[in-house]
């Protein structure tokens, strides 16, 4: 199986980048939970400070959204399950500077372009026998946006978490999620350590795929 984790960094110049607060904790926990079930896991991670020594996990480190897409594209045909957990940057600078930009007195305007939507692009290549899981971090109209992503990205299950919930989201050791499948019925879970959230996800995927 394939798991993506962490953020991506899109360079503005050699010392600055566009990124987010993702620590990779959730993605690494998911990889370890699936490995505990005997799965061979390919973990593609953006820049994070955590590591794993769990047997059966093969880690590929990347920096940018483009690099993450290429790594996933090279693996997707050989996996049965993919969990797209990474917090991929939505935009990247159009013309990153090759030299550090010096402080000036005026404003600095940076033109941005959309990055590759990795889950959506790989969803176009999804085989009938494959099972894809996505994540949605929302701040408004959470269920509506998550259900739209489920369909648009050709996913089988989407895991929703909200920045409005204390103890959920980036930089925490806990998470509170809602899982939504193709039927559109949300299943809410209580606030739990991310390791247990990962275990809940494994149980749900096993139940839906019959891979006990």
Does residue 211 register a pLDDT over 70?
no
Q: Return all residues near 19 (Cβ < 8 A) that are at least 6 apart.
A: 7, 8, 9, 10, 47, 89
Q: What domains does the chain contain, in order, with CATH numbers?
A: 2-95+112-209 (3.40.50.10300)
Considering the candidates 11, 20, 154, 211, report the single residue annotated as catalytic: 20
Give the integer Cα–Cα distance in Å for 7 and 149. 19
Does residue 165 register a pLDDT over 80?
no
Give pLDDT tens digits for 49-73. Answer: 999 999 999 999 999 999 999 999 9
Helix (H) or strand (E) segment spanning residue 74: helix 65-75
Q: Is 20 designated active site?
A: yes
| pTM of structure | 0.93
Closest CA to 60 of 49, 74, 76, 44: 44
Cβ 24 vs Cβ 6: under 8 Å: yes
């Amino acid at each position: 199986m394939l798991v993506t984790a962490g953020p991506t960094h899109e360079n503005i110049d050699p010392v600055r980048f566009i990124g987010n607060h993702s620590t990779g904790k959730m993605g690494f926990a998911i990889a370890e939970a699936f490995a505990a079930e005997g799965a061979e896991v390919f973990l593609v991670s953006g820049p994070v400070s955590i590591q794993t020594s769990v047997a059966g996990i093969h880690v590929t480190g990347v920096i940018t959204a483009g690099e993450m897409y290429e790594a996933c594209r090279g693996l997707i045909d050989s996996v049965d399950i993919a969990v797209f957990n990474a917090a991929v940057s939505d935009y990247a600078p159009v013309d990153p500077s090759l030299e550090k930009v010096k402080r000036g007195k005026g404003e600095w305007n940076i033109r941005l372009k959309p990055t590759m939507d990795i889950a959506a692009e790989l969803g176009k290549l999804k085989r009938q026998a494959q099972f894809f899981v996505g994540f949605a971090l929302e701040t408004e109209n959470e269920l509506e946006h998550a259900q739209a992503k489920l369909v648009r990205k050709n996913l089988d299950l989407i895991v929703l978490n909200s920045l409005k919930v204390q103890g959920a989201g980036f930089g925490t050791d806990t998470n509170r999620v809602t899982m939504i499948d193709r039927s559109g019925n949300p299943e809410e879970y209580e606030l739990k350590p991310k390791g247990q959230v990962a275990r809940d996800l494994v149980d749900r995927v096993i139940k839906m795929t019959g891979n006990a």
